[in-house]
Amino acid sequence: MCVVSQDAANARLGALAGMMREAGAVAYLKGKLSTAWQLPAGSNAPTITAKLPRTAAWLSSTRANVVPSLRASLASSGLAEVADGSSTAGIAVVPTNLRTGGRTASRTPSPRTPSDDYAVADAMAAAVPALSPVFPVALGSWRGTFRAALLALIAGDTPAAASLPELLANDGERLHAAQNGLQQLLVLAGGLLIVQQLRQAAGAGWSAVEKEAARRRLMVVVADPAMRLSDLVTELTQLAGAQGASVQEAQVKNMFVTIVNPESAAFRSIRSGVCAALLAHLLHGKERLAGQREAVAAALGRIGASALADDVAALGQQLASVAAVNEAVHEELLQALLA
């Protein structure tokens, strides 16, 4: 009986997988959420606000406070903004597994046995491609405002998943991962800036090749869950002390603690620069930004983080994939709230 029950469950999963491979996948999820939230199609902003108050307040605050701040960051970083009216008007719904950041599709299902539920679920996920984000997007558009809201969420000092808007209830893990990724980049940027400053003070050069090598070394240290501050300080000291520069660990530690203090001007500058580069990726997309690679590198270079350009691009793609699914599923709600 156990095997029969498992086979029946697998059959239902298989049927659902077939449905989710069709263009109706987004409509299917829209209907499910509409019922759960008691929000019929065509609901107006007051009705949506009453049902989803945290979402409405979050988006309203983003439009009033975050968007102007990010626009200023783009301008000060020398990065181009997408002109209003140039955003893509619609979205082609492609088959999706509705898991942001999902792996690349494979049309060959994974081998499985009838009673292996995990293998069935794995095969379903592998058989369905991810939803592609829309580019370019103007910052003042509803898509741009939503992406700015996502960026502000992971750039905040509090855990992104602590009190999510109702719209993002299923994105806690992904946003937590994105926030961890951004925090890692900020630590790396701060470390690279310290090394750059100390090497310059000692009259030691630092080529692009050396910066890339330093990035790789620091990435290994920062990615270690068991990393201690002393480990990072030792690595930074060695990088800064190359070519005869005399640098003491105590000095590096003091500089690092100061520069990663969220209240410090240096940290605010680093966060602003990295977030401006991330926003450029969220608005333009990696392919469109390829022609502005030097501008992005220059913007990051102002905070000593030019070597992190590819890492910022990867995080931008990660966050854009979260946006893609939400924009497809919640388009009507977002447009109503951001009209």
Q: Mean pLDDT lowest for which of 8-22, 67-81, 120-134, 231-245?
A: 8-22
pTM over 0.95? The answer is no
User: Domain map of the chain by residue range?
Assistant: 1-37+97-128, 53-96+131-163+170-339
Residue-wise pLDDT tens digits, 165-221: 999 999 999 999 999 999 999 999 999 999 999 999 888 888 999 999 999 999 999
The pLDDT tens digits of the residues spanning 22-64 come to 457 778 788 888 889 999 989 999 999 999 999 999 999 999 9
Phi, psi angles (nearest 5°) of residue 89: -70, -40
Contacts of 9-15 spanning 24+ positions with Cβ under 8 A: 9/117, 10/114, 10/115, 10/117, 10/120, 13/117, 13/120, 13/121, 13/124, 14/120, 14/124
For residue 295, the number of C-alpha atoms closer than 13 Å in the C-beta half-sphere is 18
Is residue 95 within 8 A of residue 129, CB to CB? The reply is yes
Q: What confidence tens digit (pLDDT) does each residue in 258-276 have?
A: 999 999 999 999 999 999 9
Dump pLDDT digits (tens) for 147-172. 999 999 999 988 988 889 999 999 99
Question: Token pair of 101, please?
Answer: 């950041």
